Structure 1
Amino acid sequence: MVPLEYLLRFINEDAPFGDVTSKAVIPGGMKARAVIVAKQNGIIAGVEETEALFKHFGVEVRVKKRDGEEVEKGDTIVELEGDAKAVLLVERTALNIMGRMSGIATEVRRLVERVRAVNPKVRVAGTRKSLLKPLDKKAILIGGGEPHRFSLSDAILIKDNHLALVPLEEAIKRAKAFSVYKVIEVEVESIEDAVKAARAGADVVMLDNMTPGEIAKTIEALKREGLRDKVKIEVSGGITPENIAEYARLDIDVISLGYLTHSVKNFDVSLEVIGRA
């Protein structure tokens, strides 16, 4: 689960001086019963985080749908009972977390299934295009995808801006000397650089913003040089839900999409108070 301390920051941001509406309107000591309901079909995520937040504020939680389960419109995800002010304090933060995570998990699952139908060996991965990484990365995992790097500290990924300063072979040589434990990935945009990166000892070659035809030619060049089996091939850039199957048909290992976290649509969930407890 994402650490509680991280989640509480959202509550503190949403109510820095308390929930003034509930203080003004809700009598002290009043108890309430509520449910969180799915308003669409999909994969639910963020249930653990929702449970932790409500429990922290003394609300009893009965989980009806666990992270990763399929839900249908109208399904009850959790039942809540406790102090009415606490329920209302956590409401929006919990729905924001669950809505975002479920939206990501649902889209990841959809794309994973689309890719596996074409090529079962290809993995679908996210990227670092997110400011809510603990939540987003977990949602990608729940959806069946690969989180990719969590941070700049996880693996060595030599990108175009690094190569604008240091030549490709030298950059890989420096990276290999720096650590024997870190995976070395190199982003390239041409067949020539892909071959250079593989020959220099990169573990992963990322083919960036290439068309399926260009990727196919690059893989053939790697095979001719006896290098294809020495590296993993990741493709990224310009890939959408509409064209992802074209890329999946190729002899590649990973498809990564920033879209999964920077453009995915929130999943619709709602908290409904059903009466006093």
Structure 2
Amino acid sequence: MIRAPEIPLSRLIAFVEEDAPFGDLTTESILPAQSCIADIKAREELILAGLSEMVRLFTHYGVQTETTLHDGDSVRAGSTILTISGDVHSILLIERTSLNLVGRMSGIATRTRQIQEMVTAVNPSCRIAATRKTAPGLRILDKKAAMIGGADPHRYSLSDAILIKDTHRALISLKDAISRARAAGIYHRIEAEAESIEDAIEAAQAGAEIILLDNMEPAHIQKTIQALKDLNLRNDVLIELSGGITPDTIHQYAALEVDRISLGMLTHTVRNADLSLEIRH
């Protein structure tokens, strides 16, 4: 399992500075400096993600933290995720940023875990994968959250791997594209998108290591896989699926002999988990 990335502290601080570029006007105007204790609670059942980032932020601003939980834990509604103590100015300065951060990441991790469990129940060797369909500036956080939920991170960026898509093939043949990609370097896997049985066979014969079957119906996918088997090509490639797959239909695709199912919805349509900060005194 690939280790989830460490988010630079400077990036987390930048989120706070975005929210309070000149300080917290309300708190600084009406409350004198004083210590308090507060609890951050889950208002719904969730898979926790972003806890380590939250702890690092509060610690940076001089707030003490206490928790028995870890990223990836399943948390029940009403549970305390983190207890914090320190100056109220610091706590309220970071409150919304930290809740937004953990809410978004936990929302992604929770949905990812739910869908991965659906897939595993049908095909234990298949994993879902996150895509590059992330909010600009938040990719490393969104990818980490998906990984905590159990997904393969796929590519972090265009610089990570070669993926030959229809937009490339509009200007070059698939065979030539794979040949040029191979000539450019041997240290990256080559993945090629296929929209037909013929595309998949051509990609495998040309040396692609991963074939992305895009927007295919289950019956068409099954025929494509069988065609690769008939030519003794199936074991030479990994099969990834994408396009038009939803939680309601994913079991049909997972039941096929496939290795990965990439889902943009994990990160492009995010529902934040519901969290709250409650001050005790």
- TM-score with structure 2 setting the length: 0.96
Query: Corresponding residue for 1:219?
Result: 225
Query: Corresponding residue for 2:170?
Result: 164
Report the CA distance between 1:64 and its aligned residue. Answer: 3.0
| SS of structure 2 residue aligned to 1:34 | strand
Query: Corresponding residue for 1:236?
Result: 242
- Equivalent-residue separation in structure 2 for 1:81 and 1:248 (angstroms): 47
Alignment of 1:101-116 (within 5 A): 101-116=105-120
- Equivalent-residue separation in structure 2 for 1:82 and 1:138 (angstroms): 29
Query: Corresponding residue for 1:22?
Result: 27
Alignment of 1:87-236 (within 5 A): 87-130=91-134, 131=136, 132-236=138-242
Report the CA distance between 1:266 and its aligned residue. Answer: 0.9
- Equivalent-residue separation in structure 2 for 1:26 and 1:161 (angstroms): 57
- Equivalent-residue separation in structure 2 for 1:23 and 1:163 (angstroms): 58
User: Gaps (5+ residues) in structure 2?
Assistant: 1-5
- Equivalent-residue separation in structure 2 for 1:172 and 1:8 (angstroms): 43
Report the CA distance between 1:32 and its aligned residue. Answer: 1.4
User: Gaps (5+ residues) in structure 1?
Assistant: none
Is the 1:64–1:79 contact (alpha carbons within 8 Å) kept by the matching residues of 2? no
- Equivalent-residue separation in structure 2 for 1:274 and 1:211 (angstroms): 55
- Equivalent-residue separation in structure 2 for 1:155 and 1:186 (angstroms): 11
| SS of structure 2 residue aligned to 1:205 | strand
| SS of structure 1 residue aligned to 2:39 | strand
Query: Corresponding residue for 1:272?
Result: 278
Report the CA distance between 1:264 and its aligned residue. Answer: 2.8
1:33 aligns to 2:27 (yes or no): no
Residue by residue over 1:117-174, the C-alpha shift from the partner in whole angstroms, topping out at 9 and shown as x without a partner, is 1010101111000021111111111111111001111101111111111111000000
Give 1:16's aligned amino acid: P
Residue in structure 1 matching 2:262, options 256, 259, 272: 256
Runs in 1 of length 4+ with deviation above 2 angstroms?
none
Report the CA distance between 1:101 and its aligned residue. Answer: 0.6
Report the CA distance between 1:25 and its aligned residue. Answer: 1.1
Is the 1:65–1:76 contact (alpha carbons within 8 Å) kept by the matching residues of 2? no
Query: Corresponding residue for 2:3?
Result: none
User: How many corresponding residue pairs?
Assistant: 274
Identity fraction in percent: 54
- Equivalent-residue separation in structure 2 for 1:14 and 1:57 (angstroms): 15
